[in-house]
């Protein structure tokens, strides 16, 4: 962290406390309160961490007002248009764009880690067929720590790297197996002659009874969806992974915790919730009723796929996703998809409504992704597993960064206690 000469003064009960202010490469200045409790005997209060920087990082930067997202300085729209997911994985993990031979080595390494231990197949059979695939993924990924003991020592840099390869490589296999299990079809092994996205589509949609040809346009759209979901600063699931890792937990346990957090409909579960909402709306003439419900403070309903803690402008990922949606639906000859029509009309209606524009509630990454995934043939229950598969590289990159930070210590927030003061126990006969 850069040394700082800038300070902020906090006055409490007539005493001034000088707090260092760190100036970032980009974004707001950061007031360093690490010594505040020791000096002033007070805590700061920030449930939901709306004004709190939990760490310093060099991986991803978001300018929510400008609608900018960069990975190691490269804008997401350029990466989505010119790069591909495994190159973005290399960039997130190592901090620079690889030379051709470096990229080839990395892709070969990931390809060679795509199979899972054969005995892990038994885990899937312990679940009901109608288990949500996210439940299966939380369980199976957590169980990886019972199989890959040679990459759980977080003090060993090489083991950290191997664990990173294993998680990035095996997540598509596990997600595809969760899908196949849920529909009663046999598991499909990965193929080393296919690229990352094509391999995932192959493992999801091929069957032993016939040849399956991966359409290159769908593979490209799948790869782009992976890239758009790869990392996103200190979002809830990434913060979960960092907090779990701060206790020294192994990488597979930490990523399983991240998957569990991502599942929530306010976070990664929003893509499934958004498509279910669009289907519930059904036709454009029903849109005004749902917009009224979203604005009604007495109604818990919110427009899924709208709003964001950081973006107070368009989510740049949503713009790219919208282009992909048009391409995929055009290719599949479903450009008149009624759900897409409701999505486009809903977006237009919301963006013309002062409630949404004044609160800066714009479509986020989850608004269009579900439409593409449904058009590709995925059930809504597979949307969040695909988000988890994509975000694994972000979780792993942030996990590695935290472990290499000499300042790292166990995360242990305090609280604003509002409970009872000290009191004596009362025997039951005296109550």
> Which residues are annotated as catalytic?
308, 366
232: contact with ligand SDX by CB under 6 A? yes
Site size toward ligand SDX, by CB under 6 A: 20
267: contact with ligand SDX by CB under 6 A? yes
Residues 279-318 close enough to bind ligand SDX by CB under 6 A: 294, 302-309
Closest by Cα among 283, 278, 259 to 384? 259
Compute φ and ψ for 63, nearest 5 degrees.
-105, 100
Q: Which is nearer to ligand SDX, 159 or 234 (CB)?
A: 234
Quick note: the x/- pattern for ligand SDX over 72-91, rule CB under 6 A, is: --------------------
Question: Least distance (Å) from ligand SDX to the CB of residue 52?
Answer: 13
Please report the DSSP string for 312-369 in residue order: SS--HHHHHHHHHHHHHHHHTT-TT-HHHHHHHHHHHHHHTSHHHHHTT--B-HHHHH
Contacts of 78 (CB under 8 A, 6+ apart): none
Q: Which is nearer to ligand SDX, 195 or 366 (CB)?
A: 366
Q: Which is nearer to ligand SDX, 168 or 321 (CB)?
A: 321
What does each C-alpha distance from 224 to 69, 230, 427 come to in angstroms? 15, 10, 64
Please report the DSSP string for 65-97 in residue order: TTTEEEETTEEHHHHHHH--HHHHHHHHHHSSP
Binds ligand SDX (CB under 6 A): choice among 1, 66, 146, 266: 266
Helix (H) or strand (E) holding 11: strand 7-12
278: contact with ligand SDX by CB under 6 A? no
User: Tokens at residue 416, please?
Assistant: 């604003």
User: Tokens at residue 286, please?
Assistant: 């029903």
Of the candidate spans 217-225, 267-275, 328-336, 402-410, the one that interacts with ligand SDX by CB under 6 A turns out to be 267-275
* Radius of gyration (C-alpha) of the chain in whole angstroms: 23
363: contact with ligand SDX by CB under 6 A? no
Quick note: the x/- pattern for ligand SDX over 320-359, rule CB under 6 A, is: ---------------------------------------x
Neighbours of 404 (CB within 10 A): 10
Which position's Cβ is nearest ligand SDX?
A: 307
364: contact with ligand SDX by CB under 6 A? yes
Binds ligand SDX (CB under 6 A): choice among 361, 372, 375, 396: 361
Strand stretches in 159-316, DSSP E? none
Q: Which residues in this chain contact ligand SDX in the complex, by CB under 6 A?
A: 232, 235, 266-268, 270, 294, 302-309, 359, 361, 364-366
């Amino acid at each position: 962290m850069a040394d700082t000469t800038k300070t902020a003064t906090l006055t409490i009960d007539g005493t001034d406390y000088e707090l260092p202010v760190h100036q970032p490469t980009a974004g707001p200045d950061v007031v360093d309160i690490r010594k505040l409790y020791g000096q002033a005997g007070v805590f700061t209060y920030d449930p939901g961490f709306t004004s709190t920087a939990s760490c310093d990082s060099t991986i991803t930067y978001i300018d929510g007002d400008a609608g900018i997202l960069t990975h190691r300085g490269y804008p997401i729209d350029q990466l989505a248009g010119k790069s591909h997911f495994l190159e973005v994985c290399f960039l997130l993990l190592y901090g620079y764009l690889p030379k051709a031979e470096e990229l080839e080595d990395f892709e070969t390494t990931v390809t060679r880690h795509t199979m899972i231990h054969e005995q892990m197949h038994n885990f899937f059979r312990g679940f009901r067929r109608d288990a949500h695939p996210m439940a299966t993924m939380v369980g199976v990924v957590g169980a990886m720590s019972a199989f890959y003991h040679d990459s759980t020592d977080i003090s060993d840099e090489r083991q950290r790297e191997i664990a990173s390869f294993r998680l990035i490589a095996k997540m598509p296999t596990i997600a595809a197996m969760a899908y196949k299990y849920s529909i009663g079809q046999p598991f499909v092994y990965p193929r080393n002659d296919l690229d990352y996205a094509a391999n995932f589509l192959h493992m999801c949609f091929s069957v032993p009874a016939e040849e399956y040809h991966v359409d290159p346009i769908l593979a490209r759209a799948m790869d782009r969806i992976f890239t758009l979901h790869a990392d996103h600063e200190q979002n809830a699931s990434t913060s979960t992974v960092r907090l779990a890792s701060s206790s020294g937990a192994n990488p597979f346990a930490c990523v399983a915790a991240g998957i569990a957090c991502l599942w929530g409909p306010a976070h990664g579960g929003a893509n499934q919730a958004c498509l279910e909402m669009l289907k519930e709306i059904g036709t454009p003439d029903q849109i005004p009723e749902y917009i009224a419900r979203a604005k009604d403070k007495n109604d818990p309903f919110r427009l899924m796929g709208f709003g964001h803690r950081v973006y107070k402008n368009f989510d740049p990922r949503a713009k790219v996703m919208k282009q992909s949606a048009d391409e995929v639906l055009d290719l599949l000859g479903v450009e008149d998809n009624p759900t897409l029509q409701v999505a486009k009309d809903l977006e237009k209606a919301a963006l013309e409504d002062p409630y949404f524009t004044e609160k800066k509630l714009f479509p986020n990454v989850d608004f269009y992704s579900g439409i593409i995934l449904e058009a590709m043939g995925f059930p809504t229950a597979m949307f969040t597993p695909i988000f988890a598969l994509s975000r694994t590289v972000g979780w792993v990159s942030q996990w590695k960064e935290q472990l290499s930070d000499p300042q790292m210590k166990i995360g242990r927030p305090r609280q604003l206690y509002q409970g009872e003061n000290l009191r004596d126990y009362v025997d039951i006969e005296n109550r």
